[in-house]
Amino acid sequence: MSCIFVCGIGLVAEWMLPKHQTPVRFRYPAHVFDRLSVPKNATVGSTNNMKILSIETSCDETAVSIVEATGGLEKPAFTVLSNLVLSQIKTHEQYGGVFPNIAKREHSKNLGRLIETALQEAGLFVEQKNSLTESQKEKITADLSREPELCTALIELFESSGKPAIDLIAVTFGPGLEPALWVGINAGKVLSEVWGIPVMPINHMEGHISSVLLDTKKPVEFPALALLISGGHTELVLVPDWLSYKIIGQTRDDAVGEAFDKVARMMGLPYPGGPQISALAHEAREAQSDIQNDAEKKSEKKPVQNFNFPRPMIHSADYDFSFSGLKTSVLYKIRELKALQDAHVDGGIELPVETKKSLALAFEDAVIETLVVKTKKAIAEYKSKTLILAGGVTANKAIRKAFQNLTDEQTASGASTQLLIPTHELSTDNALMIAFAAYVRFSKNSTTGNSTADVHEIVAQGNVQLS
């Protein structure tokens, strides 16, 4: 396949899709969901407590959560009643990237069952036989005409459960893959119409920023900066206060995660390549430090080759990033090394794993330095008291460590900036963060009576930006 598609990018030709599959009705045993181990918060009970059901389908994770929220804007606190994430990675792996229409099909197949399981887990499933009227069924079928499996599952849910004690439904409306986003939005609309529960559309990136709210020991102090690094995004966002955002920098080409994935592909590593590259780089880093610590003992470890890749735009006057040139430099180096290795073999040859490790390390170092230098400059300019790091790429331990070092340095020099990084499970796409964002939005806007949307006005916005 010549090109890959990641979240937020492009459409895919129909001919790439597998042959039509008959919708299957099934009931998952609960254990098939990758459950997240999120600590439960015990501080529920204030008057403003509300239960939020959230839905996230922006890319290749179908996620549903139910939380009980309390404390308002001053002291938001959450009890996680259910948190389900079903990853489609295995489905997309074979294509080397996320295909929007396949993502949509998978969301449609799984979302209804996830919602039902979440309600059961949260103890909010009201077992009760209901008969929908023909006109209700017709309406649901029309609303979900493009999501037949979801339609079947939701009709079954409505016929077997009464209205649950949910106060608010939150759905991701963008950015992301529009066909995928519509599945979550349409589910939210139908749940809202049948059960009479208001819906709040949430920006996925606001969700990522809000994901740090689970840790109530470290309240967010403003102004904050958020560095959002994922497969589809690389953004440096100034957050002067809750719900107030200014994107001060972003990538001009590839997102960080996308660059990791593409470099991995160049080395023949499977999708998603970020974790593979980071594992190789980690081994190279360990070998490097073993060799340094063990110089006289002549360590067994193979020496790490010194590759040096450019740090594009690192000294530009703005806060923008560019990773495409870096990726191309890695490609040229790989070609050069392959040519040296065997001038007579045309492509296809594998580089030795030690070389791959050294390349991965040099690539990762270039990424880290670029991110850190730009962020450090922004912290100083905006005097930010908090740095939030979120998005799937924060799973990278070397990146986490580099930012920990940066904020430790700041503290040592008297200009303290606290670093907030959500747990790994909350860094990648999930629905909890969407519920957290919805609660903040609800708490801030509730006085204006303007906090939920007319369900019919919610539309998927693939490229929406934080504003």
By CB under 5 A, name the binding residues for Mg ion.
Answer: 230, 429
Of residues 427-466, which lie at the interface with ligand ADP (CB under 6 A)?
Answer: 428-429
- Name the residue with tokens 């957050």: 239
Compute the least distance from the CB of residue 277 to ligand ADP, in Å. Answer: 6
Binding segment (CB under 6 A) for ligand ADP, from list 180-188, 229-237, 341-349, 451-459: 229-237
Q: Which of 110, 396, 417, 443 binds ligand ADP (CB under 6 A)?
A: 396
Picked from Mg ion, ligand ADP, none, the partner binding residue 272 (CB below 5 to 8 A depending on kind) is ligand ADP
| Amino acid present at 161 | S
**At residue 420, what are phi and psi to the nearest 5 degrees?**
-120, 115
Supply the minimum distance, in Å, between the C-beta of residue 251 and ligand ADP. 12
Minimum distance, C-beta of residue 440 to ligand ADP, in the bound complex (Å)? 20
Choose which of 184, 188, 207, 274 interacts with ligand ADP (CB under 6 A).
274
Nearest distance, CB of residue 21 and ligand ADP, angstroms: 24
Q: Does 230 bind ligand ADP (CB under 6 A)?
A: yes
Nearer to Mg ion, 337 or 434 (CB): 434
Check binding of 422 to ligand ADP (CB under 6 A).
no
Q: Is 192 in the site for ligand ADP (CB under 6 A)?
A: no
Alpha-carbon distances of 299 from 283, 355, 362, 386, 442, rounded to whole Å: 14, 18, 21, 42, 59
Beta-sheet pairing, 168-174 with 50-56? parallel
* Minimum CB–partner distance for residue 206 and ligand ADP (Å): 14
Quick one: which of 16, 31, 417, 15 has its CA closest to 225? 417
Cis peptide before 223, with omega less than 30 degrees from 0?
yes
In the complex, the smallest distance separating the C-beta of residue 343 from ligand ADP, rounded to whole angstroms, is 33
From ligand ADP, Mg ion, none, interface partner of 274 (C-beta below 5 to 8 A by class): ligand ADP
In the list 71, 100, 257, 422, the residue contacting ligand ADP (rule: CB under 6 A) is 257
Query: What contacts 386, CB < 8 A, 6 or more positions away?
Result: 220, 221, 222, 223, 224, 225, 417, 418, 419, 420
Instruction: Report CA torsion sign: 151, 155, 157, 162.
Output: positive
Rounded to whole angstroms, what are the CA distances from 439 to 51, 76, 77?
9, 8, 10
Residue 71 vs 207, nearer CB to Mg ion = 207
Contacts of 220 (CB under 8 A, 6+ apart): 212, 213, 242, 386, 388, 420
Residue 82, number of CB atoms within 10 A of its CB? 23
* Strand pairing report for 61-70 and 50-56: antiparallel
The site partner of 395 among ligand ADP, Mg ion, none (C-beta below 5 to 8 Å per kind) is ligand ADP
For residue 6, the tally of other CB atoms under 10 A from its CB is: 24
Name the site residues for ligand ADP (rule: CB under 6 A). Answer: 6-7, 59, 230-233, 257-258, 260-261, 272-275, 278, 391-393, 395-396, 428-429
